[in-house]
Amino acid sequence: MDRFAPTRRPPGKNAGTQLWRELLFLHWWVPVDALRPLVPARLGLDLWEGRALVGLVPFRMEHVRPSWLPDVLSQDFLETNLRTYVHLDGDAPGVYFFSLEASSWLAVQAARAGWGLPYHYADMAMSETADERGYTSVRRSDPAARLDVRCRVGAPLGPSAPGTLEEFLLERYYLYVERDGVLSRGQVHHTPYPTVAAEARHCEEGLVAAAGLPAPNRPPDLVHASPGVDVEVFALGRV
């Protein structure tokens, strides 16, 4: 599988730009047979040494705007996405989102209408100290779909090394969406994530179960963090 091709910037003009800041990546190993029925049939599960993962990624979105909108009218909000890792016909590795929480009602409506992504409006907050980063999120339509996490953040580690589990989880540039039976793919472009050491100090969540997966009922198996990247977003195309 070619994992380098998705990192190349597509030709032409982007559909919009965003800044992703202060990210946490929380991952759990999950049974493949529990994950498979929840992913579109045409997509293969992208496994790490035969094992499947789901990830919760809370972060700040800043200066979010389509390419035609002046930056002065851009939006800032918090987001948390629940995702797993997939590929198309044995190639083109990417992510498939089960849900995305956002603290902006307008962003939720725009992403649902324009991209067909399963966004939900949520009450969200972020806290940060010299060595700790925390996020809370409670979905307005389902308070059980929530997240309360605090992680220690430490020394810079630099970009993930090629071929590592960290690169497998973090460096994802394709996203897949199925709407009305039609599978589409979008692409983002950014430099590799700079990473920092991270460790979970507290984590309670209900988003995994809300997606129909078995609740992990344990701390994250893997934790990573990044100060963020500047992102170009490219339009969805049918596959």
pLDDT at site 87: 98
pLDDT at site 217: 93
130 confidence band (pLDDT: 50, 70, 90): confident
Mean pLDDT across the stretch 42-51?
98
Residue 21 pairs in a beta bridge with 60, 228
pLDDT at site 107: 95
For residue range 174-219, list pLDDT tens digits in order.
999 999 999 999 999 999 999 999 999 999 999 999 999 999 999 9
pLDDT at site 8: 97
Mean pLDDT across the stretch 35-39?
97
Which residue has better confidence, 2 or 194? 194
What is the pTM (predicted TM-score) of this model?
0.97
Please, what are the domains in the chain?
5-238 (2.40.400.10)
pLDDT at site 48: 98
pLDDT at position 19 over 90: yes
pLDDT at position 67 over 90: yes
Mean pLDDT across the stretch 125-135?
95
% of the chain exceeding 90 in pLDDT: 98
